[in-house]
Amino acid sequence: MSGTDLFTSVRGPGLIGTLLALIVVGGFSLLAVLVFDESLQGGGQEIESVIEADAKHIEELEGRVAVMREEVERTTKFREIEASIASEGIRRDLLVRRREQLEEEVAAARGRLCDLEDSFSDYRQSYRESARASMVGRKMDQLTTSDGKTYTHVEITKVDPVRMQIRHEDGITGVPLELLSDDFRDYLQLDGAEKEERLAREADARAARSQRADQRDALKRIKDLKDGLAQLKRDRDEARRVAARAEDAIPQLQLAIREKKQELAAEEAKKKTGGISNAPQVRSQLQQLEEKLRLAGLRGPEYHQKIAELEKQIGALELQLQSEEDAAREKEFEG
């Protein structure tokens, strides 16, 4: 039995309500007895004093009843508050579930919207590509752009998101699409994002071509430097061999000159004794040997100087080659 059932129930008064009724009935019964039963009227007390005492007693009883009613009211309010809190909790749970449901619906709607936008974007892209392709091969007697230029005997050879390539009476020209007439622009459905993407790809392609050209130029410079360096080293090695041969020839020439001088002395002695002498031929041979010795003496320092110059050139080319190779590696790493 709940707190409320102590006062009231569907079957009649509750326990406390019944007790209150009994107390009130008993009080009034007691009052009647006191009034009409002389033996209970205080043993000769005056009726007024008895009534006054009974009135106080009734007032106390009424006070108790009032207190109990207040308790009943407070208990009822507490129950109402509890019921309200429970109702608010249920309502809050319902609101939370509804919010979650709405969030799911919003997410689903956004997904459908994205799908629709993607589908529409794909359709527009497909349309633009088809429109551009349909214009290729079209011929016109005249084409005038918004910047005032006029082309005659025009044939459209290519259309991309940025420009329309045409062949005309004066040559070949790429006309920016934004310079075409309103009819052309409306038919082609120009798209700024597509144009920027195309320009970005073209810029990337130009940069890649430029990079490849720079790499080719760098490789050619490196090859030329290596070839030049190899040739300088061959010239240096040849100069070293010539200088070595000249230096090796000097002692041999000196020995040959001494022998030739002895031979010349012998030939001149024959001439003095009246014999047949080859002194002129031997003297000529001696002169040739001395000339060779002189040249050999000059050739050594000359080739040593040449070797020194070649070594200097080789050193400079090696530094330049190293610099070119380092730069090529850095560009390759950046790429």
User: What's the pLDDT at 238?
Assistant: 93
DSSP 268-301: HHHHHTTS---HHHHHHHHHHHHHHHHHHHHHHH
Q: Are residues 181 and 214 in the same domain?
A: no
Q: Are residues 248 and 213 in the same domain?
A: yes
Is 117 among the domain residues? no
Is 175 among the domain residues? yes
Identify the domain containing residue 72 by its residue range. Answer: 4-110
Q: Are residues 268 and 174 in the same domain?
A: no
Q: Are residues 221 and 253 in the same domain?
A: yes
Q: Report how far residue 329's alpha carbon sits from residue 212's, in angstroms, rounded to the nearest whole number.
A: 13
Please give the backbone phi and psi of residue 162, each rounded to the nearest 5 degrees, phi first.
-110, -40
**Over its length of 335 residues, how does the chain's per-residue pLDDT go in tens digits?**
444 444 444 444 555 666 666 676 666 666 555 555 544 444 455 666 767 776 787 778 778 777 877 877 777 777 777 777 777 778 888 888 888 888 888 888 788 777 777 777 788 888 989 999 999 999 999 999 999 999 999 999 999 999 999 999 999 999 999 999 999 999 999 888 999 999 999 999 998 898 888 889 989 999 999 999 999 999 999 999 988 888 888 899 889 999 989 988 888 888 777 778 888 898 999 999 899 888 888 887 888 899 999 999 999 999 999 999 998 888 777 65
Is 129 among the domain residues? no
Q: Are residues 300 and 216 in the same domain?
A: yes
Q: Report how far residue 135's alpha carbon sits from residue 133's, in angstroms, rounded to the nearest whole number.
A: 5
Q: Report how far residue 56's alpha carbon sits from residue 68's, in angstroms, rounded to the nearest whole number.
A: 18
Q: Are residues 320 and 229 in the same domain?
A: yes
From 56, 75, 110, give the residue that closes a domain: 110
From 110, 145, 178, give the residue that closes a domain: 110
* Amino acid at position 329, single letter: R
Q: Are residues 50 and 149 in the same domain?
A: no
Q: Are residues 63 and 157 in the same domain?
A: no
Whether the model clears a pTM of 0.75, i.e. scores above it, the answer is: no
Quick one: CA dihedral 324, 325, 327, 328, positive or negative? positive
Q: What is the CATH number of the domain that holds 169?
A: 2.30.30
Q: Are residues 274 and 243 in the same domain?
A: yes
Is 272 among the domain residues? yes
Is 200 among the domain residues? no
Is 34 among the domain residues? yes
Q: Are residues 248 and 158 in the same domain?
A: no
Q: Report how far residue 308's alpha carbon sits from residue 315's, in angstroms, rounded to the nearest whole number.
A: 11
Q: Are residues 186 and 280 in the same domain?
A: no
Q: Are residues 185 and 214 in the same domain?
A: no
Is 116 among the domain residues? no
Q: Report how far residue 84's alpha carbon sits from residue 132's, in angstroms, rounded to the nearest whole number.
A: 70
Q: Report how far residue 155's alpha carbon sits from residue 71's, in angstroms, rounded to the nearest whole number.
A: 102
From 76, 110, 144, give the residue that closes a domain: 110
Our count of domains for the chain comes to 3
